[in-house]
Structure 1
Amino acid sequence: MEARLDFLFPVAHEPGNDVTLHRHGCHELVYYLKGSGRTRIGDRDYEYREDDYALIRPGTFHDERHAAPTEVLCLGFAPLRESALPEGVFSDRRPKDGEGAHDPLLPLLLGMAKEMKNKDEDYAGMLDLLTSQLVLTLRRRRLTGGSPTYAEDKFRYAINYMNENFHRRIDFGSLAAMAGYSLDRYRHLFKAETGASPGRYVLGRRIAHARTLLRETKRSISEIAADCGFASDSQFCSLFKRETGWSPGAYRKVNA
């Protein structure tokens, strides 16, 4: 055996239902089955989206902030010998150019979840065997270069800028020019990589911040609209209801 399974469970999060900083005494793998958002692992921030996975070493503080409804599979494990696994957020998708191709982790993880649910004879031993296979697979990816972290892709600067300046007017044309693309091409590539257009991505950040302010402060609707970058109270109320199904006032009453 190469590893022992410590825990395995699925969990779903809504935007605003964030995971605060915490750490484990074992390695953790968080597989993002659905959703998008951000996670801080140690002293680095990463974006995540569907079919990414995070690897966190024992003792590393990490959190999770959800920009869209997110479903994850959390797995804690302890390698039985020294294992220099990388830490960060990685893609489980096959590279489009075919370089560095690898078999996806998801079927293996779903097989583990099935063993855990069914609890057939010797399921604990089977889970440790599958965990060992997972660790060997992760080591092999490290030794062959693995897949690049999403945080280091060519859109990282733009995403960082949007995360820091979502409450301001953002000139997407300038961001496209700095990346060396026309605006139309940039929009297309950005959506292909992140699952959202630049405009939708910024709107998601504004709505997520508005949710937090509505829940955790007593600031007026007008103040929140301005703080989140909306042009007017009416625009804020209209877009908030379109995206969440609630008016800002109703959302505050339910979540106060």
Structure 2
Amino acid sequence: MGMHKHGCHELVYYVKGSGRTRIGERDYEYREDDYALIPADTPHDERHVMPTEVLCLGFVTSREPPLPEGVYPAKRSGDRSNASEPILPLLLKMAKEMRNKDEAYADMLDLLTSELVLLLRRRLHGGTPADAEDKFRYALNYMDEHFHQKIDFQALAAMAGYSLDRYRHLFKEQTGLSPGRYVLDKRIAHARALLRGTWRSVSEIAADCGFASDSQFCSLFRRETGMSPGTYRKQGEA
């Protein structure tokens, strides 16, 4: 594969094979169970010494610190158990979601990609594997960024290492709210801002804030604010 580049970050997992790859200005060797990280718009190639099987993931992330380019082993040196980081299982889960395309599969892909990026940041910036508290904080951050989408609380709880009931209990302990209440508050706050700051239609705002329908949005907005979206907008004009 000759030199090329993408507008997104790329992770290439070498399932089988060996060879060399040039990323930017540097050459690397790769072997089975290595993975390459390639920043957006960085030229790279791939030259096979042995027949190579790869899994590739393109993704976008704006979080800091940036992921460093290079080729890394999925197995930690000096680890007597010879255990691999859970990178390949995450990629295989993504591939399964893309094949099956079940309901909300796109949201699940976002969740799995965010988990993968969190893992890579901790691994490559000298951190230890994420503990339960780190995973809990990640789940909270995920809600902050994806409140306008359908959120699978069961999947978030499992990612954090808890049952759904335990996760709800811990979430309320730390935030004072249930997960569902937390997301609804984010959606209503975003809807308020859009109603006062834009001329977008109620239907557009309902969809943008993650409500299933206009009627659901209007009903919940009235329940939470005491007025309809239209009345709320008109009061802001006064």
TM-score, L = length of structure 2 = 0.50
Match of 2:125 among 143, 164, 177: 143
Q: Is 1:35 matched up with 2:11?
A: no
Q: Is 1:133 matched up with 2:115?
A: yes
TM-superposed deviation, 1:104: 2.9
Equivalent residue runs for 1:106-125 within 5 Å: 106-125=88-107
Query: How far, CA to CA, are the matches of 1:145 and 1:44 in structure 2?
Result: 25
Higher alpha-carbon Rg: 2
Structure 2 SS opposite 1:138: helix
Q: Is 1:103 matched up with 2:94?
A: no
TM-superposed deviation, 1:94: 3.4
The aligned amino acid for 1:116 is: M
The aligned amino acid for 2:55 is: L
The aligned amino acid for 2:22 is: R
- The answer for unaligned runs of 5 or more in structure 1 is 1-18, 147-256
Other-structure match for 1:81: 63
Structure 1 SS opposite 2:122: helix
Q: Deviations over 1:16-46 (max 9, x none)?
A: xxx1000111100000000011000011101
Query: How far, CA to CA, are the matches of 2:24 and 2:62 in structure 1?
Result: 23
Contact 1:93 1:104 in 2 (8 A): no
Q: Is 1:50 matched up with 2:40?
A: no
Q: 1:102 to 1:60 in 2, by over 3 A?
A: same
TM-align CA RMSD? 2.2
Equivalent residue runs for 1:1-256 within 5 Å: 19-98=1-80, 103-144=85-126
Query: How far, CA to CA, are the matches of 2:32 and 2:42 in structure 1?
Result: 23
Structure 1 SS opposite 2:20: strand
Query: How far, CA to CA, are the matches of 2:7 and 2:80 in structure 1?
Result: 36
The aligned amino acid for 2:77 is: P
**Aligned pairs, number:** 128
| Higher share of residues assigned strand | 1
Q: 1:121 to 1:97 in 2, by over 3 A?
A: closer
Query: How far, CA to CA, are the matches of 1:83 and 1:23 in structure 2?
Result: 22
TM-score, L = length of structure 1 = 0.47
Structure 1 SS opposite 2:107: helix
Query: How far, CA to CA, are the matches of 2:127 and 2:63 in structure 1?
Result: 21
Q: Deviations over 1:152-173 (max 9, x none)?
A: xxxxxxxxxxxxxxxxxxxxxx
Query: How far, CA to CA, are the matches of 2:21 and 2:127 in structure 1?
Result: 22
TM-superposed deviation, 1:143: 2.3
Q: Deviations over 1:189-220 (max 9, x none)?
A: xxxxxxxxxxxxxxxxxxxxxxxxxxxxxxxx
Query: How far, CA to CA, are the matches of 2:76 and 2:127 in structure 1?
Result: 14
